[in-house]
Structure 1
C-alpha cells in the first residue's frame, strides 16, 4: 500500500517539475517570442510532460486496485468488530469507488464508519474518534480530481500562450493537491490499520463478540 502511494507521489512530482519548466518556456515565449533554442526545449519537455501524464494514470490505477483491496478488508473487519456501526454494506467498499455519483461520498462514509467501529470501548461505550484526517484526505482527493479534469480540458483547448500558461498553472496546482491527498492517504491507511489491528488483538470484545478468526487489516 505504502509503495504504491509513494509511486503516485513520485509520478506527481515528476509531472509537477516538468510542468513548471514548461510553464517557464511559455512565459519566455510570451516576452521574447520563439527561437530555435526555445523550440528545442519545448519539444523535449512536451514529450516528457505527455509521458508523465501516462505515468500518473498507470500509477494511480495500480494504487487504486491495491487501495480498494485494503479498504474492503478494513470494512469487513470493522463489520466483525461492530456489525451495527455501519450505514453501508461491505460491498460498497468496492462498488462505492466505481458507481457514478455515489463515488463522491460513499467511500468517505465507509472510512468514517470503519474508523468508529475500530475504536475501543470504555465504561461509557465506544469512544468517538476525530474525523478531521479523513475529511482532509477526502477533500484533497475530490479537489485534485475536479481540478485535474478542468485543467486537462482547458489545456487541450488552449491555443494562445496566455491560455496555455493558465492551463499549465491549473495542472500544476492539481499535481500539488494530488500529492497532498496521497500524503494524507498514507496517514489514514497507517492510523486506521494500526487502530484496527490493536482493536482485534488487545481491546475487550464489544457486546457482540468478535470472531476469533478475524484478522487485522494488513498493508499491501
Structure 2
C-alpha cells in the first residue's frame, strides 16, 4: 500500500501594506484656526486682567489708598484667576485641534512627497511632549510638511514658520520667568513687577497664536491647491525617456 503524496499548501498571497491616503485638510484646518482664535481671545482677556492687576499693585506699591482699594484688589484678583482658567482651557482645546490637523497634513505630505519627511510619523505628536527635542523637532516637522505641500517647482520661503516658532519659544520662556516671579512676589512692588512680565508674556502668546493661525491657513491652502492640481508631471528628461519607451 503506497502512501499518498502530501499536497503542498499554497503560500498566502502577498498583500502590500496600506500606504498613506490623501484626505482633505480643510475642515480640520478650520477647527484649528477657530480654536487658536479662541486662544487669542483669552490672551486679550488676560491682558485686560493684567492691566487691572498692574493698576492696583502700582497704587499699593506707591502707598495710594482709598476706601475702594480693597474692593478693587479683590476684583483684580478674581479677574486674574478667571483669565488664567480661560487661557488654560482654550490652550488645551487648541492643542487637541491643532495636533489633529497636523497629523492629517503630515500624512498628506507623505503622499505628496514620500521621501521628504526627515522624522518618522510618530514624532508628529510625540515631539511636542518630549523634553529638549520639543525645542526644534516640531519646527522641522512643520517645515517638511510646508515644503512637501507646495505646488510643483514652487517652494515658498520659511520666514513665516520661523517667525511662528521663534515667537512660540520666546513666549514660553517669558511665561516661565514671569510665572516664577509672580509666585515669589510678596510685596506690592514685586507683584507690580511680576504683573508687567505676565502682561508681556500674554501679548507674546497672542502674537504666537496669530502666527500659528497664518501657518495653518497657508499649509491648508497649499495642500488643497496641490490636491486639485493632480499628479506632478514628469521632468522633461523623464518624459522623453517614457515617450521613447512606449512608442
Asked if the contact 2:56–2:76 (Cα under 8 Å) also holds between the matched residues in 1, the reply is no
Any gaps of 5 or more consecutive residues in structure 2? Answer: 1-31, 235-247
Deviations 1:57-113 (A, max 9, x none): 111001000000101111110011101111111211111111111111111101111
- How far did residue 206 of structure 1 move? 6.3
Q: TM-score, normalised by structure 1?
A: 0.88
Query: Match of 1:111?
Result: 142
Query: Match of 2:223?
Result: 196
1:132 lines up with 2:163 in the alignment: no
- How far did residue 203 of structure 1 move? 4.6
Matched residues in 2 for 1:21 and 1:139: separation?
29
Map 1:41-120 → 2, pairs under 5 A = 41-120=72-151
Query: Match of 1:154?
Result: 181
Matched residues in 2 for 1:8 and 1:148: separation?
15
1:187 lines up with 2:214 in the alignment: yes
Deviations 1:196-218 (A, max 9, x none): 111111154266xxxxxxxxxxx
Deviations 1:124-173 (A, max 9, x none): xxx33210000111111111111111111110111122211111011000
Asked if the contact 2:54–2:196 (Cα under 8 Å) also holds between the matched residues in 1, the reply is yes
Matched residues in 2 for 1:42 and 1:93: separation?
44
Asked if the contact 1:108–1:134 (Cα under 8 Å) also holds between the matched residues in 2, the reply is yes
**Cα gap change, 1:206/1:157 in structure 2, threshold over 3 Å: closer, same or farther?**
farther
1:141 lines up with 2:172 in the alignment: no
Q: TM-score, normalised by structure 2?
A: 0.79
Structure with the greater alpha carbon radius of gyration = 2
Any gaps of 5 or more consecutive residues in structure 1? Answer: 208-220
- How far did residue 34 of structure 1 move? 3.5
Query: Match of 1:9?
Result: 40
CA RMSD between the two structures:
1.4
Matched residues in 2 for 1:200 and 1:116: separation?
14
Matched residues in 1 for 2:232 and 2:173: separation?
42
Query: Match of 2:29?
Result: none
Q: How many matched pairs? A: 203
- How far did residue 36 of structure 1 move? 3.2
